């Protein structure tokens, strides 16, 4: 987890081998407060059933493409999440998560 305001890494949970992001999250049993807004990527499909304060991008389908509003929401979410992705990249470059 990363504090979006300070760009500070608050919590890290890693696992061996190849595992789905959401599965690693569930196994970590990390408590999420209701007052905390959680912004995630599409690897966490299904988390909104358990945590209503989570935001993941909308998924478009062939027969029902995304609306302009959904595209706008996805763009806003990705523009704030890029900070987190850059921090993860830095941690990987310096082999902190290796």
* Alpha-carbon span 43 to 55, nearest angstrom: 12
* Alpha-carbon span 26 to 13, nearest angstrom: 11
For position 46, what pLDDT does the model report? Answer: 86
Predicted confidence (pLDDT) at residue 47 exceeds the cutoff of 70: yes
For position 96, what pLDDT does the model report? Answer: 67
- Tell me how many degrees the CA angle 38-90-44 measures, rounded to the nearest 5: 30
Predicted confidence (pLDDT) at residue 94 exceeds the cutoff of 70: yes
For position 60, what pLDDT does the model report? Answer: 92
Predicted confidence (pLDDT) at residue 44 exceeds the cutoff of 90: no
Q: Report percent pLDDT > 70 for the chain.
A: 93
**Mean pLDDT of the 17-42 span:** 84
Q: Evaluate whether 30 touches 11 at the Cβ level (below 8 Å).
A: yes
pTM over 0.95: no
Rounded to 10 degrees, the C-alpha dihedral 9/15/20/25 comes to -50
């Amino acid at each position: 987890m990363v504090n979006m305001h300070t760009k500070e890494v608050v919590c890290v949970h890693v696992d061996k081998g190849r595992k789905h992001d959401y599965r690693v999250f569930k196994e970590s049993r990390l408590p999420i407060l209701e007052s905390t807004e959680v912004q995630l990527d599409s690897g966490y499909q299904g988390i909104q059933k358990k945590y209503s304060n989570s935001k993941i991008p909308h998924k478009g389908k062939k027969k029902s493409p995304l609306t302009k509003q959904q595209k706008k929401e996805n763009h806003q979410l990705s523009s704030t999440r890029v900070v987190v992705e850059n921090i993860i990249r830095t941690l990987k470059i310096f082999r902190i998560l290796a």
